[in-house]
Amino acid sequence: METNSCNGPANVGFKIPERVSRESRLDSTLVNVAGVEVGGLDVVIIAGPCAVESEEQLFDTARAVKRDGARILRGGAFKPRSSPYSFQGMGEDGLKLLSSVRAETGMPVVTEVMDTRQVDLIGEYADMLQVGSRNMQNYPLLKEVGLSRKPVLLKRGMMATIEEFLLAAEYILSQGNENVILCERGIRTFETTTRNTLDLSAIPMLKRLTHLPVIVDPSHGTGIRWMVPAMAKAAIAAGADGLIMEVHYRPDEALCDGYQSLDLDLFKTLMADLKRIAEAVDRKMS
């Protein structure tokens, strides 16, 4: 049998972990994030600031992205910063703001969990737990979110192969939590003009190997605001089930990742373009 045709088993040179493997399921997995389904026909846009900074910043940004079609709100309350002297996030106060903006807008929220000891607390406020790149191989954390029943947004480690990425997801599924969304967010290469090298080839590869939904983060994937729209469009054209993007009502004043955050006007324009791309590849954006 031919092994690398479009329909046959993919010949990738490693054993695809059992639970995440496409072979283990007939249908693609739909992850339900408090009523928003990811992995179906709809391309789902997750948008919001890198970090929750204040009530005004979060509410103004959230209202705008919702109006323009974002379905899920992002915002970090606990931030993994390279420097211990950089803004570390608002902590539980940030979680409280996320839950009040959800109450007003009706948008489910996703926020990062960095430590096993935070899973219960963050689970009380968030609709989806984000495991960031730096923690993709934090196995105790993967097991802990696997024991939770919240959906998990698992970001690819910046040095992780596709095999390692799938094995990390397998950790979560092996604990009984099958609500995992994979996120390609760029990997480290020799290239320095961009913050990371966004591996768009990971989209068709992951879609082929696993039944889990695959989304893309063009903000961290490039690190450059003006590049985000091009890569967002390319990701949808390549088959991504959604995007997660950083948007800030005043990017130049952001405490974290402002240089890669879209402002509200850019986001609005991009959303109109994305809708057309989604339709061109037989998807929808509602």
Binding site for Mn ion (CB under 5 A): 50, 257
Considering only 91-99, 113-121, 132-140, 235-243, which stretch makes contact with ligand PEP by CB under 6 A? 132-140
Q: Does residue number 132 form part of the binding site for ligand PEP (CB under 6 A)?
A: yes
3-state class percentages of the chain: helix first, strand second, coil last, to nearest 5: 40, 15, 45
Q: Does residue number 185 form part of the binding site for ligand PEP (CB under 6 A)?
A: yes
The partner in contact with residue 247, picked from Mn ion, ligand PEP, none with C-beta cut-offs of 5 to 8 angstroms by kind, is none
Alpha-carbon span 78 to 114, nearest angstrom: 7
- Among the listed residues 35, 80, 176, 204, the single contact to ligand PEP using CB under 6 A: 80
CB of 194: closest distance to ligand PEP in angstroms?
14
CB of 217: closest distance to ligand PEP in angstroms?
6
Nearest to 208 by CA among 1, 3, 71: 3
By CB under 6 A, what part of segment 17-76 binds ligand PEP? 50, 76
Considering only 36-44, 97-105, 126-134, 204-212, which stretch makes contact with ligand PEP by CB under 6 A? 126-134
The partner in contact with residue 53, picked from ligand PEP, Mn ion, none with C-beta cut-offs of 5 to 8 angstroms by kind, is none
The first and second tokens of residue 286, run together, are 């509602």
Alpha-carbon span 274 to 244, nearest angstrom: 13
What are the helix and strand counts (H, E) for the chain?
A: 9, 10
Question: Based on CB atoms, which residue is closest to ligand PEP, 50 or 173?
Answer: 50
- Among the listed residues 29, 133, 138, 179, the single contact to ligand PEP using CB under 6 A: 133
Contact by Cβ (8 Å): 219, 22 = no
Rounded to the nearest angstrom, the gap between the alpha carbon of residue 58 and the centroid of all alpha carbons in its chain is 18
**Phi first, then psi: what are they for 258, rounded to 5°?**
-60, -35
- Bridge partners (DSSP) of residue 181 are 153
Question: Based on CB atoms, which residue is closest to ligand PEP, 81 or 284?
Answer: 81
The first and second tokens of residue 6, run together, are 């479009």
Alpha-carbon span 215 to 64, nearest angstrom: 22
Question: Based on CB atoms, which residue is closest to Mn ion, 127 or 257?
Answer: 257
Residues lying near ligand PEP in the complex (CB under 6 A): 50, 76, 80, 132-134, 155, 185, 217, 220
